[in-house]
Structure 1
Amino acid sequence: MREGTETTGTGGEVPLVGGTANRGQVVRVGDTVRRPRRDTSAATHALLRHLADVGFAGAPRVLGVDGRGREVLSFVPGTAVTPPYPAWALTDDALVSVARLLRDYHRAVSSFDPEGHEWPPRPPAPFAGRLVTHNDVNLDNVVFRGGRAVALIDFDLASPGSRVWDVAGAARLWAPLRPDRHVGDSRRGRGLSRFRLFVDSYGLTDGDRDRLVSAVLGSHDWSYDVVGTAAANGHPAFTDYWTNGAMVRARETRQWYLDHADLLRDALA
């Protein structure tokens, strides 16, 4: 749900497009990004300040609030992966760099205390924990420079979870793990091998690998519940996305996970 591709704007504000949740409401002003504040913005800001304090360079910095009540973040230079996807973003090298960036983020955030903050909905109990996971490592929420993933953006869904949960969600999107008829690029037919490559590159422990296939299904259900709930509540962008194919793809992909659970486990063996 990234806002990261520039379009022409006026008055010094350059709209950033590519996301869904805040479509049309995120702009770049110089080296800053202005975004709507949320009920959980204080938690996100505490998280981002921690990442800055521990020297993690792969996330925006919190700069304050502007005169219109919008949060002000630093602009992360680089390229986010938005459709039509460039060939370099679908390579195994790009995939490996995303896995390593996610691992580095988890190391940086491991010392952050999430207590005392109001967070967005958390992952379900089997995958809950104290590690604040990004929860939306979609292609358009990763910034690349020189073909390598260097930063995560759009922490709106970040909340306490677990490593296996974040790895499952990211691998599901980047491999990708879905029926081949829903993959229209060079990754078609390579989902299982790329799934293994992502997990190996992250370095997930054996115990978490055993839970990973269940986490993939849980991540799929959780993510589409976020989308479906927003659509049911009248969010126009999510409604458009949900009713123009996403609902059907979600149902078919979920069944694919159930039918191919053994293949997913074998891919990690």
Structure 2
Amino acid sequence: MAGRAGEIPLLGGTANRGRVHRVGDTVRRPMRPTAPATHALLRHLERVGFDGAPRVLGIDDEGREVLSYVPGTAITAPAPEWALTDAALRSVGELLRRFHEAVADFDPTPYTWPPSPPAPFSCGTITHNDPNLDNIVFRDGRAVALIDFDLAAPGAPVWDVAGAARLWAPLRCPADTTDVRRGRELHRLRVLVDAYGPLDQRELVVDAVLANLEWMRALVSDGATRGVPGFAAYWTGQAQQRADRARAWLAEHADAVRAALM
């Protein structure tokens, strides 16, 4: 796959690791059963003028979806320090806000989607559901686009904000943060949420973060059990232990997290 002439493997991602390639100004990705829903969403974003997502260009002769390549930098480990600044984090919150505003009038009902977030975070708009560092493209130090909409589904905006906070603040055991964010988790949570702006269910951010951790853990564990190569490679004993520590830390510090948002 990686050896095709003119194809450049793109780093990042888990489920599709090693299966996403750049060809000129396009990206070729595996098709999924829910691709028609994702493509309808991306076409809606194009129609309303949202410039923070790839465009659907079609299907290639190998059955892969063809998307426009979004120029910029997606953050892969080890993350550069500029990507971990408060200014970069603010731009992530602002990008999520613009995305949710752009999908507010999109009708998801004609399509089959990946599993939605659990109640009470399962409706309200469309959520990206995986605002990980490597799924956000930066230019000149600012978040400008979301990529990898494979998990997008009906959900509540607070779910995406909580997911971003969990990953970007990051809200986890500080022992598992080895960069400049360590010890600044609650400050960065407030930076992100304030940058997003008015947020329905803001009082449920802590619950959403905990639910998001369990939801993603179940998704990855299931993928590993089914033999999805990226998930199987990621879901080691160490990864499971990190998830356990994150759950324990969030439970222990729930009141402090809530207070940070007051």
TM range (shorter): over 0.9
Offset at 1:244? 4.7
Distance 1:190 1:109 in 2: 32
Distance 2:221 2:95 in 1: 29
- Larger deviation: 251-260 or 135-144? 251-260
1:261 partnered with 2:258:
no
SS in 1 for 2:120: helix
Number of the residue aligned with 2:26: 32
- 1:35-46 matched pairs, under 5 angstroms: 35-46=29-40
Q: Are the aligned partners of 1:9 and 1:15 in contact in 2 as well (CA < 8 Å)? A: no
Distance 1:123 1:18 in 2: 23
Distance 2:10 2:132 in 1: 16
Match of 1:142 among 136, 150, 162: 136
Offset at 1:9? 5.1
Q: Are the aligned partners of 1:217 and 1:254 in contact in 2 as well (CA < 8 Å)? A: yes
Distance 1:10 1:231 in 2: 27
What is the percent sequence identity of the aligned residues? Answer: 62
Offset at 1:130? 3.8
Aligned positions, number: 261
Number of the residue aligned with 1:179: 173
Q: Could you tell me which runs of 5 or more consecutive residues in structure 2 were left unpaired when the two chains were aligned.
A: none
1:123 partnered with 2:117:
yes
Distance 2:191 2:158 in 1: 15
Q: Counterpart amino acid of 2:177?
A: V
Q: Are the aligned partners of 2:126 and 2:153 in contact in 1 as well (CA < 8 Å)? A: yes
Q: Are the aligned partners of 1:23 and 1:237 in contact in 2 as well (CA < 8 Å)? A: yes
Match of 1:247 among 240, 243, 247: 240
Q: Counterpart amino acid of 2:57?
A: L
Q: Could you tell me which runs of 5 or more consecutive residues in structure 1 were left unpaired when the two chains were aligned.
A: 1-7
Offset at 1:10? 4.3
Offset at 1:235? 1.5
Normalised to the residue count of structure 1, the TM-score between the two structures is: 0.95
Q: Counterpart amino acid of 1:63?
A: L
Distance 1:130 1:65 in 2: 31
Q: Are the aligned partners of 1:142 and 1:151 in contact in 2 as well (CA < 8 Å)? A: yes
Match of 1:113 among 79, 103, 107: 107
1:190 partnered with 2:190:
no
Q: Are the aligned partners of 2:124 and 2:157 in contact in 1 as well (CA < 8 Å)? A: no
Q: Are the aligned partners of 2:15 and 2:229 in contact in 1 as well (CA < 8 Å)? A: no
Question: CA offsets per residue over residues 127-153 of structure 1, 9 Å max, x none?
Answer: 111411000000000000000000000
Q: Counterpart amino acid of 1:174?
A: W
Question: CA offsets per residue over residues 173-200 of structure 1, 9 Å max, x none?
Answer: 1101011100000000000000011111
1:161 partnered with 2:155:
yes
Alignment RMSD (CA, Å)? 1.1
- Larger deviation: 90-99 or 245-254? 245-254
Distance 2:204 2:18 in 1: 38
Match of 1:73 among 67, 74, 78: 67
